Amino acid sequence: MKTGRSYLQLLGLATIATLLFGVFRPAHAAPQEKGDATSQKDTAQYVGVDTCKTCHEELYKNNFENTAHFKTTLHDGHGCESCHGPGSAHVEGGGDVTKIISFATMSKQDANARCLSCHGEKHEQRHFSGSAHASNDVGCLDCHSPHKAKEPEHLLVRAQPSLCYGCHTTAKADFAKPYHHRVDEGLIQCSDCHNVHGTTTLRQVRAMPSGEAVCVKCHADKQGPFVFEHVPVKTEGCSSCHTPHGSTNPRYLRVSQVNLLCLQCHTFPAQGPAGPSHNQSTKYQACTMCHAAIHGSNASNVFFR
């Protein structure tokens, strides 16, 4: 099995190398023309924002000039045409929408590529093309609107978390549970824990530079390293015991009774660790009363302190 997997990995790498050097060529086209599916790029010329304003003045003043995209008009930028492509054919056609890039008619992939031609180099957006959102036909313009944004910071069509709740209805119910991360209260945003543009981790959960899950950014005391590590904290992750969005149980635990959670692992003999020798009818119905440093300890191999 191991040898077979090695061959498979080598085959995969060879395929990648062949494609890389034998099929793909450098993309010499200017960035704003990548993914240009509908513009008349062979003949159209740039006309400048002043020409665009003659017909789209209200849109320009109210929904472009006061956004971050205004920067595309400065320092030899093309402004509106940075996204919509050269506009001379559109102007000569009397405003013919087929002679300019219209995001309303483009495919999702083409629209994404257009945005990523500028934004794709940023650390946040680098993995978008391979993300779960992209492969489920959720594109840039499903969440962002350069002209009709309701949330100015990232030109979102709606503020978080209601934007995310539009599709992720389960999350809406989770954050409404009594014990929940304070997303609805505005303290935390979905994008604090998830990189919505994609990551190499599962569920697009952010990771710290050292590899740990993003939980330890706020819960810094749980990161360690500890002298005595509690194995599942490191091997299975925080979600082996907690439900991060929200829970009906205090401390966001997966079960209502702490001892049951502990006993489900601490039971001989299928695998270590050993079970307790305590009578559950007595004070020992609360494991963490004694085993208080349960996320890891620097002084006790049974997490007493």
**181-240 binders of other proteins (CB under 8 A):** 182, 185-188, 200-201, 207, 209-211, 217-218, 220-221, 223-229, 231-232, 234-236, 240
Report 143-162 residues binding other proteins (CB under 8 A): 152-153
* Nearest Cα residue to 102 out of 160, 141, 154: 141
**Interface mask (CB under 8 A) for other proteins, residues 15-44, using x and -?**
-x--xx---xxxxx--x--x--x-------
Q: How far is the CB of 148 from other proteins (least distance, A)?
A: 13
Q: Which of 71, 96, 97, 98 binds other proteins (CB under 8 A)?
A: 71
Q: Is the dihedral of CA 74, 79, 81, 83 positive or negative?
A: positive
Contact 49, 65 (CB under 8 A): no
| Smallest gap from residue 205 Cβ to other proteins (A) | 12
d(CA 188, CA 179): 14
| Tokens standing for residue 86 | 């050269």
Nearest approach, Cβ of residue 83 and other proteins (Å): 16
Among positions 235-294, residues that touch other proteins (CB under 8 A) are 235-236, 240, 248-251, 254-260, 263-265, 267-272, 275-283, 285-286, 288-290, 292
Contacting residues for 226 by C-beta, under 8 A, at least 6 apart: 295, 296, 297, 298
User: What does the DSSP 8-state code read for residue 274?
Assistant: P
8 A C-beta contact, residue 206 and residue 127: no
Per-residue interface string for the shown chain with other proteins, residues 102-141, x marking contact by CB under 8 A: -----xxx------xx--xx-x--xx-xx-x-xxxx----
